[in-house]
């Protein structure tokens, strides 16, 4: 069994004396793991940083085996450009950790991969924070848990949408949601086109919204929790 594909490094952990088990989100083969011989050595360590774009060749005797990445070449060193920016570096680490935790292994998710590529390309712009939240929304949709933010679940109106129901994932207007505001999730305006440049509070509210549904509907059923890297991103935003 052998194939080659483009991918984004999600995780690399040491295996044995010098090898590493590497998880990569690929364009055509989904989230896929493989052994990289010498992957924990100094020559490969920089290549296998989360967020870097690589070209890989995977090979195994049988399809169900872990297999090896016999080729793992750098296409773009994304992480190196963010080393002096702790907030954007935290976003990159959170992005990779969420993809690693949420995506099923060896199942193609082309839209998620394409969205991740787009986000990697905007991490050095002012649009990165809103783009990150929208990527998590798209991830939820691709996994079958898309939110309906087009109209109020109670009235059908699309005016003054302020909340999201944690049960249905549908938007709720300010007037309809007021009696239940303590049980609803905040809906920041930038997710429905009311803002171009969200502030820190808006981004935090967006992360709280997507985090709720990722935690309760995607991760918890499989005995997982939101990655620590995502919590660190929220901490950085709070500073």
Lowest mean pLDDT among 19-33, 111-125, 156-170, 183-197: 183-197
Q: What is the separation of C-alpha 224 from the centre of its chain, rounded to a whole number of angstroms?
A: 15
In this prediction, residues 38-59 reach a mean pLDDT of: 93
Task: Tell me: do 13 and 105 sit in the same domain.
Answer: no
Q: Are residues 19 and 57 in the same domain?
A: yes
Would you state the pLDDT for residue 173?
95
- Asked which of 77, 100, 122 is the last residue of a domain, the reply is 77
Report the distance separating Cα 8 and Cα 3, nearest Å. Answer: 16
Whether residue 106 is contained in a domain is answered as yes
Looking at the structure, do residues 97 and 199 belong to the same domain, yes or no?
Answer: yes
Residue 109 belongs to some domain of the structure: yes
- 120 & 52 share domain: no
Q: Is residue 108 located within the same domain as residue 206?
A: yes
Domain count, the chain: 2
Mean pLDDT, rounded, for 164-192: 95
Structural domain includes residue 90: yes
For residues 113 and 56, membership in a common domain is answered with no
- The pLDDT of 83-92, averaged and rounded, is 94
Same domain, yes or no, for 130 and 15? no
Query: pTM for the whole thing?
Result: 0.94
Given this model, what pLDDT does residue 194 score? Answer: 66
- CATH number of domain containing 66: 2.40.50.140
- 115 shares a domain with 40: no
Residue 58 lies in a domain: yes
Q: CA 180, CA 50: separation in Å to the nearest integer?
A: 41
Share of the chain above pLDDT 90, in %: 86
* DSSP string across the chain: -EEEEEEEEEEEEEETTTEEEEEEEETTTEEEEEEETTTTSHHHHTTTSTT-EEEEEEE-SSTTS--EEEEEEEEE-TGGGGTT-HHHHHHHHHHHHHHHHHSPBT---HHHHHHHHHHHHHTTSTTHHHHHHHHHHHHHHHTT---B-SS-TTT---SSEEEE-TTT-BEEEHHHHGGGGGGSEE--GGGGTS-SS--HHHHHHHHHHHHHHIIIIIIGGGT----HHHHHHHHHHH-
pLDDT of residue 195: 67
Residues 232 and 130 in one domain: yes
Same domain flag for 65 and 111: no
Do 105 and 208 sit in the same domain of this protein? yes
Mean of all residue pLDDT scores within the chain: 94
Indicate whether 179 belongs to any domain.
no
- Structural domain boundaries, residue 138: 81-149+187-238
């Amino acid at each position: 069994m052998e194939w080659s594909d483009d991918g984004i490094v999600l995780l690399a952990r040491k295996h044995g004396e010098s090898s590493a088990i590497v998880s990569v989100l690929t364009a055509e083969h989904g989230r896929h793991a493989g052994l990289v011989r010498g992957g924990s050595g100094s020559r490969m360590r920089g290549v296998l940083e989360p967020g870097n774009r690589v070209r890989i060749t995977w090979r195994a005797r049988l399809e169900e085996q872990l297999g090896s990445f016999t080729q793992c070449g750098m296409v773009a060193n994304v992480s190196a450009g963010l080393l002096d920016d702790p907030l954007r570096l935290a976003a990159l680490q959170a992005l990779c950790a969420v993809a690693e935790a949420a995506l099923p292994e060896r199942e193609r998710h082309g839209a998620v991969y394409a969205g991740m590529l787009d986000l990697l390309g905007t991490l050095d712009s002012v649009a990165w924070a809103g783009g990150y939240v929208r990527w998590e929304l798209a991830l939820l949709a691709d996994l079958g848990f898309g939110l309906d933010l087009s109209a109020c679940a109670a009235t059908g109106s699309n005016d003054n949408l302020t909340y999201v129901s944690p049960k249905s994932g549908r938007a709720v207007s300010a007037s309809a949601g007021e009696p239940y505001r303590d049980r609803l999730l905040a809906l920041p305006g930038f997710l429905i086109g009311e803002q171009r440049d969200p502030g820190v509070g808006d981004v935090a509210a967006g992360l709280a919204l997507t985090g709720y549904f990722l935690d309760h509907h995607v991760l918890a059923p499989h005995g997982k929790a939101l990655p620590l890297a995502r919590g660190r991103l929220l901490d950085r935003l709070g500073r």
